[in-house]
Amino acid sequence: MNIQIGKDDMAETRNKKSPLADRMRPKNLDEFLGQEEVIGKGKMLRQAIEADTVPSLIFWGPPGSGKTTLAHIIANRTKAEFIRISAVTSGLKDLREIIRVAKTNKIEDKRTILFIDEIHRWNKNQQDALLPQIEDGTITLIGATTENPSFEVINALLSRSRVFVLHRLSDENLAEIIRTAIKDKEKGLGRQRIKAENSVIDLLAAMSDGDARTALNILEYLSSLSPGPSPSQERGDKKITKEMIKEAFQKSHLMYDKGGEEHYNIISALHKAMRGSDVNAALYWLARMLEGGEEPLYIARRLVRFASEDIGLANSRALEQAVAAYQACHFIGMPECNVILAQAVVYLAKCKKSNALYMAIKKAGQDVKDKGNLAVPLHIRNAPTKLMKGLGYGQGYKYSPDHDYKEKQEYLPDELKGKKYIK
């Protein structure tokens, strides 16, 4: 069984052996930094936690933003039976045991709170199994997820839960967390006499990209490597430098999941920046995608679409530029094609814009859906056989070159006669 029941009775033992990020986890709301819009003074969730009346919740936010920490705080605060599981290692067998415990608690007039870490990892059947227990109050659910719950959590669970969005922690919050860990002699690194200048702490905070766990893990790693006092010294400081931090990170920790929500958020940002003719913003979002490892041909395909959707006939050369960029990216790949994509992005962003083509095909498509298969007018039908000619196919058709392309003739079905999709 991968189940933890009750409060954290082994906290003291665990604090001596567990990673720094776990040891420094806040035990109450007063120690918690960030997320003021969710648990600040007077906020609904804070009041519910303090009154021990927490409803079913889903915490959605990036790694290291405090989702699991809030669950721990609730566990320490509540009088309910608090059960923790991870969706990665637990399944229906574990859930059945939890439901058995929860039903017993309900008979004894005791609440049961179930915390599921990474709830997006559970499939539909596993999530469905929770519904009756939440519906009748046998279980209060707290789920934590880094993925958009609109896509990863079934609607029935969402409708029975309050979703709270947690954001990446600010650099200021992270810097304060790092300083606390350096000074704390009980849970932190205070006994190691770590020395780090403010600029070093600020760099570590910035490179941690809003993730407190990353910041503390890197800090702990560096503390184990940084040189202490020389053999001739009785005491001294362990110094952490900017160079050590940069080396410890080694590569970018940019949040960019090519298969997840952030993928679509950033391509949307690139598209909208180009549409708004903001060259600098467009280049930034392009760089975010490239540095995050996005396939350059995917970006190039989106640029081809943009050239017709948002520029169209306002500058017919835009499509040529976009297609050329796609071909060039196909020829040479990354990293050399980054400047080619940059050229296309800047060109498209600077172009005069028109969505007339996009709106026109959208309106025409809607008429097709609404009115079905309208008949092709007889006079513009092809008539390759005698029978078809006898039925009137092609009769009365005016051949445009014979009329200097100035003939007056209807080409739309009768039901759409005179319809204008584009000027």
CATH number, span 171-249: 1.10.8.60
Residues with Cβ within 8 Å of 232's Cβ and at least 6 positions away in sequence, in order, are none
4-165: CATH homologous superfamily? P-loop containing nucleotide triphosphate hydrolases (3.40.50.300)
CA distances from 113 to 15, 198, 252, 288 (A): 24, 41, 38, 40
Rounded CA-CA distance 386/384 in Å is: 7
What is the amino acid identity at position 234? E
Domain with CATH 1.10.8.60 in the chain: 171-249
State the pLDDT at residue 45: 93
State the pLDDT at residue 228: 54
pLDDT tens digits for the chain (423 residues)?
556 665 554 444 445 678 999 999 998 999 999 999 999 999 999 999 999 999 999 999 988 899 999 999 999 889 899 999 999 888 888 999 999 999 999 999 999 999 999 999 999 998 999 999 999 999 999 999 988 898 889 999 999 999 999 998 999 999 999 999 999 998 999 988 899 999 999 999 988 888 999 999 999 989 887 555 544 444 557 889 988 988 888 755 555 555 566 778 899 999 999 999 999 999 999 998 888 888 899 999 999 999 999 999 999 999 999 999 999 999 888 888 999 999 999 999 999 999 999 999 999 999 999 888 898 999 989 988 888 888 889 999 999 998 999 999 999 998 999 899 988
Domain with CATH 3.40.50.300 in the chain: 4-165
- What's 34-87 look like in SS3? CCHHHHCCCCHHHHHHHCCCCCCEEEECCCCCCHHHHHHHHHHHCCCEEEEEEC
Q: What is the DSSP letter of 142?
A: E
> Taking the CB of residue 230, how many other CB atoms lie within 10 A of it?
7
Rounded CA-CA distance 35/50 in Å is: 16
Domain with CATH 1.20.272.10 in the chain: 261-350
Does domain 261-350 bear CATH number 3.40.50.300?
Answer: no
Tokens 């665990």 correspond to 14
Q: What global pTM score does this model have?
A: 0.66
State the pLDDT at residue 111: 92
